[in-house]
Amino acid sequence: MNNPDNFTSELLVNKGHSPGQLLQLLCEIQTHYSHIPPHAIELLSGHLNIPPVQIRTVIDFYAFLHRDARGDFDILFSDNITDRMLGNLSLLNSLCKKLGVEPGVPRADGRVTVGLTSCTGICDQGPALLINGMVVSRLDKDRIHKMVGLIEAGIPIDHWPKAFFLVDDNIQRRDKLLSHGIISGSAIDAMVVKGSDALLKCLDGSGLRGRGGAGFKTATKWRMCRDAEADEHYVVCNADEGEPGTFKDRVLLYSFADCVFEGMTVCAGIIGAKKGFLYLRGEYLYLREALEKTLQARRDAGHLGKNILGKQGFDFDIEIHMGAGAYICGEESALIESLEGKRGIPRNRPPFPVTSGYRNQPTVVNNVETFVAAARIAVFGADWFRSAGTEESTGTKLLSVSGDCARPGIYEYPYGVTIRQVLEDCGAIDTQAVQISGAAGATIPVQEFYRKIAFEDIPTGGSFMIFNQDRDLLDMVQNFSHFFCHESCGFCTPCRVGGTLMQDLVDKVMVGHATSYDLQEMRNIGQIMQKSAHCGLGATAPNPVLDTLEKFPGIYSSRLVNRSFEPAFDLDASLEVSRHITGRDDEGAHIRHEK
């Protein structure tokens, strides 16, 4: 092993001494050493002029960064509800048993760690895991068995079978966006020819709204940013696709990357940005190499860099920044904080990023799909785009379909498609419910399957998870409440504490300890979170609980204890420590509850 100082020093030479690079440097150091050693912190502190404590707080914020060494093989099982439904936990247990390792604790020889992580965006090809940052898809007993052999033999993952790391696009239905390709450079050419004002008008006329889910009008955002006077303007592509059950950006970044960058370049031309960022979630590290190549090809073709397409003064380039395991960084102001190398705590707003974003300069942050749509619109025009969709929701939407259906994958539909139609097309039968828009979204029961995917009915960033009649929806609720607890940034009281109280109450229902009083308590806490949280994560975190309490009361009531009050203290659970110490788990080591 190199001297840590050498590796970090070299990095600092290559990447420069800007404090904004902190997170990027930490990601590289983590990859190299499987943790951030103390002397690396010291070195970074000196060169970047950041107090050591601040560097430590950044490390502690991101789930993929560690102060203590992980194993040489650092394995994280994706733990979305869809991974659970595909049996990820039994595979994890079997891997741990075979390797002789406890979840979350490095093996004594330092060879391996095994743990869990939030949804990795491989829901259509799960269960999945990350090993040293790279995705292994389609896990089964056989694959786990082979992995054990490779790990014990100490074979680096570069030499593992390529099939392990295959992730297919899995596009099941194409519409306007995915079937009409554009020639590289044609959208920026259209802008140079028509002029940026005309193109902004065209975008306005198309009715394009943000594809991340909130649905702000794209042309309005770009105009506000352009009109904000400042030294610099920035374009940011939000590729932090962290919403559980969403994976459409993975496909766009893999097979339509050139168009994503084209859209960003069009935006840069309109708002006057010289610099753009693609903020790529840590889970998608495996896409980075190809993305860098696409960027280089665009530079070589004169589509990025100085005087783009020969137009004097049209200078723009794009840098890829990695995330490191923090769902909250999908929130645009937290994403900007993260881009600046800090903890991803959402900012107070106003001011909004369009007037004060990256380095407090006007910044456009848009979803991957939005940039692809914008590039297409620049070439094909507003009418082409408007001819699909509804009056308020023009164009098409990519859905990431997973869960109980015959054909999971990417489905592109014109806005206005009904839930029933999607279920039919993907071969879902005997469906109990669909969770739309991820963990913070809406749980849709059978009687609402006539409803439409559209901003005016059910808006979504693209997550579409299907649950058949055999599923216990409380498993989903529990998975999501634990997810939100894990991903809460901890800044505000209602999300940090309320989210934990909520999680504990869901657990209490799950083990059959809760009473009707506890359900009312969950409603109250949910309302406090909705009313007082600092950002969208905290305000929407109680949604799965509140939604299912209303629409699926049976999953709760069937488990209630028939008393008005039941203490939170669980006598049997509290004996767990003693059972662990004594190695006993027989009947006599338990106190059974009368139901």
- Interface positions with another protein (CB under 8 A): 38, 42, 51-54, 56-57, 60-61, 63, 326, 348, 350, 485-494, 496-501, 504, 524-525, 528, 531-534, 568
Residue 505 CB, nearest approach to another protein (Å): 9
Decide if 274 contacts 268 (C-beta within 8 A): yes
- Which helix (H) or strand (E) segment holds residue 581: the answer is helix 576-582
| Closer of 415 and 484 to another protein (Cβ) | 484
| Closer of 61 and 464 to another protein (Cβ) | 61
Residue 120 CB, nearest approach to another protein (Å): 19
**Dmax (CA) of the chain:** 82
Decide if 433 contacts 411 (C-beta within 8 A): no
| Closer of 200 and 525 to another protein (Cβ) | 525
Instruction: Indicate if the alpha-carbon torsion angle 255, 260, 261, 262 is positive or negative.
Output: positive
Closest CA to 441 of 525, 531, 541: 541
| Closer of 440 and 533 to another protein (Cβ) | 533
| Closer of 320 and 528 to another protein (Cβ) | 528
Q: What distances in angstroms separate CA 326 from CA 80, 243, 247, 279, 380, one per listed residue?
A: 14, 11, 16, 12, 37
Residue 347 CB, nearest approach to another protein (Å): 9
Residue 473 CB, nearest approach to another protein (Å): 24
Residue 583 makes CB contacts below 8 A (sequence gap 6+) with none
Closest CA to 420 of 452, 460, 462: 452
What residue spans of 195-247 are helical by DSSP H?
196-206, 218-227
d(CA 277, CA 21): 13
Closest CA to 249 of 124, 133, 118, 367: 367
| Closer of 269 and 346 to another protein (Cβ) | 346
Residue 9 CB, nearest approach to another protein (Å): 19
Could you tell me the two tokens for 165? 């790391």
Identify the bridge partners of residue 394 per DSSP, sorted by sequence position: 389
Residue 484 CB, nearest approach to another protein (Å): 9
* Type of residue found at 575: L
d(CA 295, CA 281): 18
Residue 265 CB, nearest approach to another protein (Å): 35
d(CA 241, CA 250): 8
Beta-carbon neighbour count of residue 159 at 10 Å? Answer: 9
Residue 501 CB, nearest approach to another protein (Å): 6
| Closer of 42 and 572 to another protein (Cβ) | 42
Residue 531 CB, nearest approach to another protein (Å): 4
| Closer of 128 and 525 to another protein (Cβ) | 525
| Closer of 57 and 93 to another protein (Cβ) | 57
| 383 phi, psi to nearest 5 deg | -65, -40
